[in-house]
Every structure is written in C-alpha cells, then in structure tokens.
Amino acid sequence: MAEFYVEINAQANGDHLVHNAACSLLPAKDGIRYLGSIASCASAVKKAAESFRQVNGCPQCATSCHIA
C-alpha cells in the first residue's frame, strides 16, 4: 500500500496527475487532494477519476500508470 494524491490543478493537456507521497514532483499540500492508502497506482487513478474527468499517472512516480 502507498499513500496517493491527485493534483487539484490540471496540466496544460488537462490531465490531473496522480502521485505517491514520496514523489519529488508532488506539489505543495494546498495543490493536492489525498486519495488514501491504496494498493496500486491503477486503483489510485480510478479513485481520482471519481473527482476529476481527466486523470493520469505521474510520469516519475507512477510510470506503469502513466499514459503518454
């Protein structure tokens, strides 16, 4: 399990990126929403999709869930 967060602000392409708590690209606390302690980035992306229409895994900390 890992702690996952989603960025509240979208990237230029509209993606809301999902990060784990240890990611160096994780924005400041007021720019992220806590998703929970989740088993995989795939599940975290699914959870984030309940709040944001367009989500993607972070290219650094969630490479297996990042769709280029």
Q: Candidates 1-9, 28-36, 46-54, 58-66 — which segment interacts with Zn ion by CB under 5 A?
A: 58-66
**Which of 35, 55, 61, 65 touches Zn ion by CB under 5 A?**
61
Burial class (CB in 10 A: 0-12, 13-18, 19+), 1: exposed
Complex with Zn ion: residue 14 or 59, whichever CB lies closer: 59
Q: Is 8 in the site for Zn ion (CB under 5 A)?
A: no
Residue type, 47: K
Q: Is 58 in the site for Zn ion (CB under 5 A)?
A: yes
d(CA 55, CA 18): 7
Instruction: List beta partners, residue 6.
Output: 18, 33
Interface residues with Zn ion (CB under 5 A) are 19, 23, 25, 58, 60-61
